[in-house]
Amino acid sequence: MATELLFRADAYLQTATARVTAAGDGRIELDRTIFYSTGGGQPGDTGVLVRSGGERLRIIDTRKGDAPGAVLHVAEPGAALPAAGEAVELEIDWPRRHALMRLHTALHVISCVVVAPVTGGQIAPDKARLDFDIDMALLDAAHIERELNAISARGLATETVWITDAELDERPELVKTMSVQPPRGAGRIRLLRIPGVDLQPCGGTHVRNTAEIGTLRVVRIRNEGRRNKRVEIAFGA
């Protein structure tokens, strides 16, 4: 059963109420959720599901289910699961998610600072990386760090834009990531716009304003293969 993704409209929701639609094998499905499920290089959310009796059930991961649109909230091992129909309150681990949102938005900026096809990416709560198909000699850590922090400091308001499949077909230049093609067939595609910097398909969670990214460091640039030159970033001046 498809779960309504509340973070698509508001990535800043830290709590919400929902109803259990299915539970078993340590997985809980809900009619709606604020938990992001692993995808697009962003890890799934963690947090707590508060049951109707007040018991707090820890959610240690969030993944996509087999059915289209299904989201599986992974309970801590051995926990008693709620029954279908039970009303629950959701709380995400906000400091962790906010860090992921800051780094995720930073990767959008870096994909524009480095002008080359993106071949991969991964985000963790304390660091993130983006891989490019580019000559190593063209990757300058100091330059990337300076440009990234300068764009963040401009305080640009980010926007979510929805377009149709047909509109995307007319603008193939929007698809910068080679490893992640935008999902088609649903009729609409979600884009993130950083005005004057970036516009690309993305279903992840982002900060409202680039100023929220804060100051980041380029901690490493590494050759990970012929078409994978990796730029790794972390928090801190």
Distance between CA atoms of 160 and 34, rounded to whole angstroms? 17
Q: Is 11 in the site for Zn ion (CB under 5 A)?
A: no
Binding region for Zn ion (CB under 5 A) out of 57-65, 132-140, 163-171, 190-198: 190-198
Binding region for Zn ion (CB under 5 A) out of 7-15, 18-26, 59-67, 184-192: 184-192
Residue nearest to Zn ion (CB): 202
Binding region for Zn ion (CB under 5 A) out of 18-26, 79-87, 197-205, 208-216: 197-205
User: For Zn ion, which is the closer residue by CB, 72 or 103?
Assistant: 103
Binding region for Zn ion (CB under 5 A) out of 140-148, 156-164, 185-193, 218-226: 185-193
Q: Within 145-174, which residues bind Zn ion (CB under 5 A)?
A: none
Q: Which residues contact 215 (CB under 8 A, 6 or more apart)?
A: 149, 152, 235, 236, 237
CB of 212 to Zn ion, least distance (A): 14
User: For Zn ion, which is the closer residue by CB, 51 or 108?
Assistant: 108
User: For Zn ion, which is the closer residue by CB, 48 or 178?
Assistant: 178
Count of residues touching Zn ion (by CB under 5 A): 3
CB of 107 to Zn ion, least distance (A): 7
Q: Is 202 in the site for Zn ion (CB under 5 A)?
A: yes
Give the type of residue at 148: L
Name the token pair of 183. 């999902």
Distance between CA atoms of 53 and 13, rounded to whole angstroms? 23
Q: Is 204 in the site for Zn ion (CB under 5 A)?
A: yes
Q: Taking the C-alpha atoms of 225, 229, 235 and 237 in order, what is their torsion angle to the nearest 10 degrees?
A: 130
Q: Is 41 in the site for Zn ion (CB under 5 A)?
A: no
User: For Zn ion, which is the closer residue by CB, 51 or 102?
Assistant: 102
Residues that bind Zn ion (CB under 5 A): 192, 202, 204
